[in-house]
């Protein structure tokens, strides 16, 4: 689990102490929200083994900085919800992600969990990126595999 220290203590000795104590990054106040968000994205990328802003699964590339998705180099238009679902699956590439987990990631808590919107989004993404990009694991959820040969 990555750790980002947010503090008013900004001396070099405080920063060294924080990093030596196990923090992955250190940000002293005052700071800009954009810097905080950029540091969080970098921590998440590093924690998931991705040093760049681009996540790759076979011919599918998702750029977390620009919000763009490409298939074999060609841009693919996605709705915000499709992008969120695809991004979550790529971040969890090779693992089975339950429908409930996807709903919790994409929607607010008061969302109707009996709705079939996840299935609709998966179908739309498959139409845009290919049927074999997302695998349905019956009774468990969905998995996105890296189909590079």
The residues spanned by each domain of the chain are: 4-47, 54-144
- State what percent of residues in the chain have pLDDT above 90: 36
d(CA 98, CA 102): 6
Question: Is the entire prediction scored with pTM above 0.75?
Answer: no
Which parts of 4-95 are beta strand (E)? Answer: 4-7, 25-28, 54-57, 60-63, 68-71, 74-76
Q: Quick one: tokens of 64? A: 């977390």
pLDDT at 149: 42
Question: Cβ atoms within 10 A of the Cβ of 102, count?
Answer: 21
Q: Do domains 4-47 and 54-144 have the same CATH topology?
A: no
Mean pLDDT of 91-106: 87
d(CA 106, CA 71): 23
CATH placement of domain 4-47 = 3.40.50.2300
d(CA 129, CA 3): 35
Q: Which CATH architecture has domain 54-144?
A: Orthogonal Bundle (1.10)
Mean pLDDT of 117-134: 93
């Amino acid at each position: 689990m990555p750790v980002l220290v947010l503090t008013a203590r900004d001396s070099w000795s405080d920063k060294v102490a924080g990093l030596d104590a196990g923090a992955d990054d250190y940000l002293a106040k005052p700071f800009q929200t954009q810097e905080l968000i950029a540091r969080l994205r970098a921590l998440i990328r590093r924690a998931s083994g991705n040093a760049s802003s681009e996540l790759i699964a076979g011919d599918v590339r998702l750029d977390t900085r620009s919000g763009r998705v490409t298939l074999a180099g060609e841009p693919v238009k996605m709705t915000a919800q499709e992008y969120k679902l695809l991004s979550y699956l790529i971040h969890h590439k090779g693992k089975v992600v339950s429908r409930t987990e996807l709903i919790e990631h994409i929607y607010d808590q008061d969302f109707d969990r009996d709705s079939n919107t996840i299935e609709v989004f998966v179908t739309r993404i498959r139409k845009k990126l290919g049927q074999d990009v997302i695998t349905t694991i019956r009774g468990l959820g969905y998995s996105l595999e890296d189909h590079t040969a």
